[in-house]
Amino acid sequence: MLVVGLTGSIATGKSTVSACLSAPPHCLPVIDADLLARQVVEPGTPGYRAIVNYFGPTTPDLLLPPSPNDRDGGDRPLNRPALGRRVFGNSEDRKRDRMILNGIVHPAVRWEIYKALLHYYIRGYWAVVLDVPLLFESGMDVICGTVIVVAVKDPTVQMRRLRMRDPHLSSEDVENRVRSQADVRAKARQAEFRGTRNARGIVLWNDGDKSQLEREAHRAVGCIRDSSPRWWAWLLLLFPPIGVAFAVWNLVVNIWTWRSWERQIKGKHVE
């Protein structure tokens, strides 16, 4: 089974591409890390308790107000905008808090991702989309045969789209959220470094309209199918030793590529 990593940055169009890949004619299953990140911090979960224990004492509005119908005294859901204001930004305190929040959420999400991958592998899917905003940052790209990055060339495009999508955010909130994430153009370069000819790295530039992005997404699936046909997926499923060997080979190639990328980046910094 081919794991297709899908990433980008906030308001670059990743959700549009994800919806396109999951709809006919492709009908690829999508493992949405953002959705899993919400589920692993729902009231009553270990992630929820860890967030409340750390952020609660210094964030008075961390939890939503109790509902008028809430008479059982259960845990109140997290106030996500308040938590976002606490962790988004470039100050040292916010960077530290964001690192702590990621340390709570990411391990739980990673475990849910592995369970979902096993589920789709057993069901015989030829490919699955792994939708992870922090794909490179979390190191999840090393398990992907292909990585798709949805990017824009101008950060102001992101800010404008984010304001349109979330009008409740202030200009400062919008800028903090965009600046807090890694430059999506760097992610695009890293995807291209994986290899564009063999479809191991694909970049979808989304500076145009939605229909143009959808056409590019369909074209990307065609390239991926050519590089990993359905018969190959069935071969890996029916002969597990071959599947295991290919998975190990893919992991080795990705780790070698990642290390080469890191050396290249360090070399540029030295210069």
pLDDT tens column, 111-127 = 999 999 999 988 888 89
Contact 199, 227 (CB under 8 A): yes
Q: By C-alpha distance, which of 20, 76, 88, 89 is closest to 44?
A: 76
**Overall pTM surpassing 0.95 (yes/no):** no
3-class SS string, 137-186: HHCHHHHCCEEEEEECCCHHHHHHHHHHHCCCCCHHHHHHHHHCCCCHHH
Instruction: Please name every residue paired with 204 in a beta bridge, in sequence order, or none if there are none.
Output: 150
List of domains in the chain: 1-29+125-271 (3.40.50.300), 42-124 (no CATH)
pLDDT tens column, 8-52 = 988 899 999 999 999 999 999 999 999 999 999 999 999 999 999
